[in-house]
Structure 1
Amino acid sequence: NLPPGDKRRNPFAFEQLAKSDPEIALRAVDIVDRGSAVAKQYKLTSIPRVEIYGRSGQLVGTVRGANADQVRQYVAQAQGR
């Protein structure tokens, strides 16, 4: 297990993506134990898992694993591009 806050938990720098557009808000939750209540509640099967929401709060897409291109595509979709 990596310690919380370790940059290796975020393999493709979500922070940089969020900084690229002031309308992107980044919220991260470190799941250290895959058997935790939070992991079970959200049925986490892979880490990282990224959920992208549109401006009105609707879920645009979920990315399981480290797929930066897919994250960028969903972000563009959420922004209406």
Structure 2
Amino acid sequence: MALVAFALSVVGTLVPPAALGGVVCGHLARRQIRRKHESGDSWALAGLILGYLLILLSLAGLLLFGGFVATMFGIMVFV
């Protein structure tokens, strides 16, 4: 599960919704690793960090794009 979390987070660089799956799988993997004393916590943590970072960058990009569009329409109204 930890490798799936990391893989989904990496795929999230091309397909942003996959980063959300990486975050969910990362949390599930860390809980399973703690409960069963397994290895792979670093993979799950890397998937979580990358997934959250990609989600944050995606949201920032959407806000910037929305701001640019709103500005352009605002400028076009006054022209």
TM-score, normalised relative to structure 1? 0.25
Tell which has more relative contact order, 1 or 2 (C-alpha 8 A, sep 6+).
2
The structure whose Rg is larger is 2
- Higher helix proportion: 2
